[in-house]
Structure 1
Amino acid sequence: MKPKLLVLIYLSDPHQALVGSHFDFIYAPNAELRAKHIAADGAAVRAVLTNGTTGLTAAEIDAMPALEVACALGVGFENIDVAHCKRRGIAVANGAGTNDDCVADHAMALLLAAVRNVRWLDQQCRAGVWRDAVPMPPNVSHRRLGIIGLGDIGRKVARRGLGFEMEVGYHGRSKKDVPYTYFADVKSLATWADFLVVATPGGAATRHLVNAEVLTALGPRGFLVNIARGSVVDTAALADALREGRVAGAGLDVYESEPKPPAALMDFDNVVLTPHLGGWSPEAMQASVQRFVDNATRHFAGEPMISPL
Structure 2
Amino acid sequence: MCSPWGTGGRTERAVMPEHQRPAIAVMNTLLTEMVAPLAEAFDLRFPGCETQGQDEAVIAIVGVGTDRISAALMDRYPRLRLIASPSAGVDGVDLAAASARGIGVTSGAGINAPDVAAHAVGLALAARTGLFAGDAFVRSGAWQTSRPQPRRSIAADKVGIVGLGAIGGRVAASLAPLCEAVAWFGPRAKDAPWPRKPSLRYLAVWADILVLCARGGADTRGMIGADEIAAIGPDGLFVNVARGYMVDEQALRAALMTGALGGAALDVFEREPCPPDLWQDVPNCMLSPHRGGSTSRTAELAGELVRANLRALLSGAPLRNQVMPDPAKSTSERCVACGTSGEP
TM-score (norm 1): 0.89
Shift of 1:82: 0.8
Q: Deviations over 1:65-105 (max 9, x none)?
A: 22110022122112210110011111111112211101101
Q: Is the 8 A contact 2:23 2:60 kept in 1?
A: yes
> Are 1:52 and 2:65 an aligned pair?
yes
Q: How does 1:221-232 map to 2 (within 5 A)?
A: 221-232=235-246
User: Paired residue for 1:120, among 101, 115, 133?
Assistant: 133
Aligned to 2:107: 94
> Are 1:7 and 2:26 an aligned pair?
yes
SS across alignment from 1:146:
strand
Q: Which runs of 5+ in 1 are unaligned?
A: none
C-alpha spacing 1:38/1:76, structure 2 compared with 1 (3 Å): farther
Over alpha carbons, which structure has the higher Rg?
A: 2
SS across alignment from 1:238:
helix
SS across alignment from 1:25:
strand
Aligned residue identity for 1:72: S
Shift of 1:121: 3.4
Q: Is the 8 A contact 1:255 1:261 kept in 2?
A: no
C-alpha spacing 1:214/1:86, structure 2 compared with 1 (3 Å): same
Q: Is the 8 A contact 2:64 2:85 kept in 1?
A: yes
Aligned residue identity for 2:83: A
Measured in 1, the distance between the counterparts of 2:196 and 2:298 equals 30
- The structure with the greater share of residues assigned to helix is 1
Q: How does 1:57-96 map to 2 (within 5 A)?
A: 57-96=70-109
SS across alignment from 2:222:
coil
Deviates more, 1:228-237 or 1:37-46: 37-46
Aligned residue identity for 1:278: G
Measured in 2, the distance between the counterparts of 1:87 and 1:247 equals 44
Aligned to 2:340: none
Measured in 1, the distance between the counterparts of 2:185 and 2:318 equals 32
TM-score (norm 2): 0.81
Shift of 1:305: 1.1
Shift of 1:269: 3.9
Aligned to 1:137: 151
Q: Deviations over 1:195-236 (max 9, x none)?
A: 111111222211111111001111111111111110111100
C-alpha spacing 1:149/1:12, structure 2 compared with 1 (3 Å): same
Shift of 1:248: 1.1
Measured in 2, the distance between the counterparts of 1:26 and 1:122 equals 48
SS across alignment from 2:320:
coil
Q: Is the 8 A contact 2:26 2:46 kept in 1?
A: yes
RMSD: 2.3
Identity of aligned residues (%): 34
Measured in 1, the distance between the counterparts of 2:50 and 2:180 equals 50
C-alpha spacing 1:88/1:38, structure 2 compared with 1 (3 Å): farther
